[in-house]
Structure 1
């Protein structure tokens, strides 16, 4: 399966089934999306009244809501994927990214498969 890896300075969309964000802050990603929308409004390409969720999502590096967010190295999201992870299942592990192996990934997926999705309920 294709994998999209994005870092802090990336602005290209990650449209692969498996997406990996390394050092990517949600505040930076969101600010960049808002700045791009503001530029489009200023140039006359976009009417401010037309801006909705889809416009914002269309300018994010990770454009869709992931089913599973695996957070390595700590039990907090900080500002990681602040827009997209609202209904995602979260999996935290103390293992640092550089030590994260295939078996750790499979463990996270197995736990995800055993969960009942609540979508914020």
Structure 2
């Protein structure tokens, strides 16, 4: 894991990924009318929760084992460990990855949980 607090990665038109400042408008989801950026804390951002609180559920996509949250318009988010292919480490949540995929299954953006401001 890099030491880039407040940093995320987004897909460019060329298909490569570039580092940029974290943007909650890109990498968040709505829950009870609120934009949630970190699925390991509740709406107060103080109380730790299991991501299933927000509707994440275990899924396997090819070789990837993750917690998945379906979003509008066919998009979805995956929570994985730092390798990107295993279930998130519930004992070291800052090293986990939150990844956003478009409706075609292409990775659009991702961020380490510990980098979310």
With the length of structure 1 as denominator, give the TM-score of the two structures. Answer: 0.22
Higher alpha-carbon Rg? 1
* Higher relative contact order structure (alpha carbons within 8 Å, sequence separation ≥ 6): 2
More helix by share: 1
